[in-house]
């Protein structure tokens, strides 16, 4: 169920900074048509930390109802404490999410044993699959290979999103887990190498504005169309670089606004991107034929 291109969906806002459910439905339908394999909703690209728990639930419900079973929906769980992580995860299960993806607990910098217990406790509180999410640049800690291997033995922990520059971790983990354990790259700049090291798919924020290219890229690897694969990774790297010149997802939302998909609005502490970044985003979309 979870492979290929899993897009970490942005959360569109109105000019008044309310969730724009109409635009959200249109985005989900666009991804259904573009070949996206699944959606990650209310993750960091979805500005989950700027959404209340009630808003996250409503965003999930809108995406699940709109996808109507055609696109698996994974709920992001971003919480620094175990009780709040369980609250968000259980709400996602109630909303009908196909899986949850709790990020490693941030700020407190837990030990490996403490991270193991964090994920084990969430796992025990749910009846749906759980993805691990390793993002040391944001969390301050990294889920070690040994910890991933140990957690993979729990029956409903089914995969890992690994947002690191160390593509060798994919091979090391693949050799320690069951064949069905899903490995997803969380960094576009390293996703080509990640796939070559045994990865099953990618979670690319830039796929919000280039869903067809990203889905084609992953298919090209698995079909061993290497010339197409090399062509697409060069294009996607150009896109990804500009989409992270200022804090994400502000550049991504501006790109989507150029495509008439959503408003460019973000919530504080993020702000709309600078004029220089706007020009860069527009130019790369034009150069790549997306705009």
* Cα distances (angstroms) measured from residue 153 to each of 28, 122, 273, 291: 33, 14, 43, 45
133, 253, 254, 278: the active-site residue: 133
Which member of 61, 161, 253, 278 is catalytic?
161
* pLDDT tens figures, 52-93: 999 999 999 999 999 999 999 999 999 999 999 999 999 999
pLDDT tens column, 3-48: 899 999 999 999 999 999 999 999 999 999 999 999 999 999 999 9
Count of H-run helices and E-run strands, the chain: 12, 8
Question: What pTM value is reported for the model?
Answer: 0.96
Q: What is the pLDDT of residue 4?
A: 95
Give the integer Cα–Cα distance in Å for 154 and 285: 43
Pair of tokens at residue 34:
């573009």
Q: Is 119 one of the catalytic residues?
A: no
The hierarchical CATH code for the domain 4-225 is 3.20.20.70
What is the helix (H) or strand (E) element at residue 102, kind and residue range? Answer: strand 99-102
Helices 226-243 and 275-287 pack at an angle, to 10 degrees, of: 170
User: Collapsing DSSP states into helix, strand and coil, what is residue 46?
Assistant: coil
Q: pLDDT tens for residues 202-223?
A: 999 999 999 999 999 999 999 9
| pLDDT tens-place string over residues 86-112 | 999 999 999 999 999 999 999 999 999
Active site residue 61: no
């Amino acid at each position: 169920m979870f492979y290929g291109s899993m897009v970490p969906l942005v959360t569109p806002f109105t000019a008044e900074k309310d969730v724009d459910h109409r635009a959200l439905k249109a985005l989900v339908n666009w991804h259904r048509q573009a070949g996206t394999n699944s959606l990650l909703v209310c993750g960091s690209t979805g500005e989950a930390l700027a959404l209340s728990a009630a808003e996250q639930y409503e965003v999930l419900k809108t995406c699940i109802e709109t996808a109507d079973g055609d696109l698996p929906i994974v709920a992001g769980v971003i919480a620094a404490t175990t009780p709040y992580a369980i609250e968000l995860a259980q709400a996602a299960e109630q909303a009908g999410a196909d899986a949850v993806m709790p990020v490693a607990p941030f700020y407190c910098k837990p030990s490996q044993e403490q991270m193991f217990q964090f994920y084990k406790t969430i796992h025990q509180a749910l009846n749906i699959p759980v993805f691990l999410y390793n993002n040391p640049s944001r969390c301050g800690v990294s889920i070690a290979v040994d910890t991933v291997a140990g957690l993979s033995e729990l029956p409903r922990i089914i995969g890992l999103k690994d947002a690191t520059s160390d593509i060798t971790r994919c091979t090391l983990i693949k050799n320690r887990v069951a064949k069905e354990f899903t490995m997803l790259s969380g960094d576009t700049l390293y996703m080509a190498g990640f796939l070559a090291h045994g990865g099953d798919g990618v979670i690319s924020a830039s796929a919000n504005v280039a869903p067809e290219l990203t889905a084609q890229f992953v298919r090209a690897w698995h079909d061993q169309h290497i010339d197409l694969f090399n062509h697409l990774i060069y294009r996607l790297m150009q896109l990804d670089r500009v989409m992270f010149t200022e804090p994400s997802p502000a550049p991504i939302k501006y790109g989507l606004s150029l495509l008439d998909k959503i408003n460019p609005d973000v919530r504080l502490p993020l702000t709309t991107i600078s004029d220089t970044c706007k020009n860069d985003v527009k130019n790369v979309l034009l150069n790549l034929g997306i705009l």
